[in-house]
């Protein structure tokens, strides 16, 4: 039986999503929880993608196969009782045996949060604390260059350079948070994001906000397809996968 699960996690105390020997990872914890349900038969969990160390997810999906018969509701309950309190399974449903999660992702939305107001210890794991004012208007001008279908190889690590780096970003914009004064949110919605892509895009936008570069330089770097000397990655704690839109068939 193949199941689709919807889950969320606080990335603070994980070495990222992907299973790694000897490290506490989200995949590792999920697979360990499933092991107990699946009569100790190991199960590989396939998510829509990975997130890095310290990155959070308010909505993530994965598929997995079980050798035991269980209802989706009982699977959800059993997973949550075997999972630590920084991962939570919100939903589970049965899917076709040939269902593969990666074929059903329509778009993903990431948000990057940055605080320009007084440091708040209660928010320290969820925002990047930036103690200097940023030119939000200039960054808003620059972020628009990311919208559309582009070869994003200037915003990935070397490992990706032999791969297809063409992705489409439907929306990219900056807003002030309505609740936490001084928190700025960079929102990116696209059909897919490569490793470090969002943090590298935000890192470059911060250079615009700090008046190190003009907004147009963002377009130039994107067009050049070369990371170059302005390459800069924003810290992981501000990043959160907030939404994954799947196609209608399984919703």
Classify 81 as helix, strand or coil. helix
Catalytic site residues? 52
Residue of the chain from 31, 52, 65, 86 that contacts its own copies (CB under 8 A): 86
Token look-up 């990047």 returns 128
Distance CA 92, CA 104 (A): 16
**Site mask for its own copies (CB under 8 A), range 4-23, x = bound:** ----xxx-------------
Nearer CB in complex with its own copies: 9/155: 9
Provide the minimum distance between the beta carbon of 240 and its own copies in the complex, in angstroms, as a whole number: 8
Bin 51: left if φ > 0, else alpha if -120 < ψ < 50, else beta: beta
Classify 250 as helix, strand or coil. helix
Tell me how many residues contact its own copies (CB under 8 A). 20
Provide the minimum distance between the beta carbon of 56 and its own copies in the complex, in angstroms, as a whole number: 6
Considering only residues 42-61, where is the footprint of its own copies by CB under 8 A? Answer: 56, 58
Selection from 138, 30, 129, 136 nearest residue 84 by Cα: 30
Provide the minimum distance between the beta carbon of 96 and its own copies in the complex, in angstroms, as a whole number: 26
Tell me how crowded residue 107 is: count the other CB atoms within 10 A of its CB: 16
Selection from 227, 234, 191 nearest residue 49 by Cα: 191
DSSP 180: S
Residue of the chain from 178, 229, 248, 249 that contacts its own copies (CB under 8 A): 178
Residue of the chain from 15, 50, 65, 88 that contacts its own copies (CB under 8 A): 88
Provide the minimum distance between the beta carbon of 170 and its own copies in the complex, in angstroms, as a whole number: 25
Asked if 187 is part of the footprint of its own copies (rule: CB under 8 A), the reply reads: no
Distance CA 43, CA 63 (A): 10
**Site mask for its own copies (CB under 8 A), range 114-133, x = bound:** ----xxxxx-x-x-------
Q: Decide if 15 contacts 23 (C-beta within 8 A).
A: yes
Sites of contact with its own copies (CB under 8 A): 8-10, 56, 58, 85-88, 90, 118-122, 124, 126, 178-179, 240
């Amino acid at each position: 039986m193949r199941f689709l699960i919807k889950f969320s996690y606080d990335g603070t105390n994980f070495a990222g999503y992907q299973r790694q020997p000897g490290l506490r990872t989200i995949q590792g914890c999920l697979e360990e929880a499933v092991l107990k349900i699946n009569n100790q038969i190991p199960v590989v969990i396939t998510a829509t993608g990975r997130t890095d160390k310290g990155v959070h997810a308010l909505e993530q999906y994965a598929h997995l196969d079980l050798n035991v018969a269980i209802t989706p509701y009982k699977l959800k309950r059993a997973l949550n009782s075997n999972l630590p309190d920084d991962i939570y399974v919100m939903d589970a449903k049965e899917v076709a045996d040939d269902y593969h999660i990666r074929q059903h992702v329509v778009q993903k939305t990431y948000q990057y949060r940055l605080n320009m107001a007084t440091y708040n210890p209660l928010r320290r794991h969820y925002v990047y604390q930036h103690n200097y004012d940023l030119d939000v208007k200039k960054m808003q001008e620059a972020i628009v260059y990311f919208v559309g279908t582009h070869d994003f190889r200037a915003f990935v690590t070397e490992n990706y350079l032999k791969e297809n780096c063409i992705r489409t970003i439907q929306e990219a914009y900056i807003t002030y948070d309505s609740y936490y004064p001084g928190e700025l949110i960079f929102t990116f919605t696209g059909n897919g994001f490569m490793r470090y892509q969002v943090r590298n895009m935000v890192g470059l936008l911060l250079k615009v906000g700090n008046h190190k570069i003009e907004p147009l330089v963002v377009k130039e770097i994107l067009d050049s397809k070369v990371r170059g000397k302005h390459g800069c990655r924003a810290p992981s704690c501000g990043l959160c996968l907030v939404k994954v839109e799947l196609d209608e068939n399984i919703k």
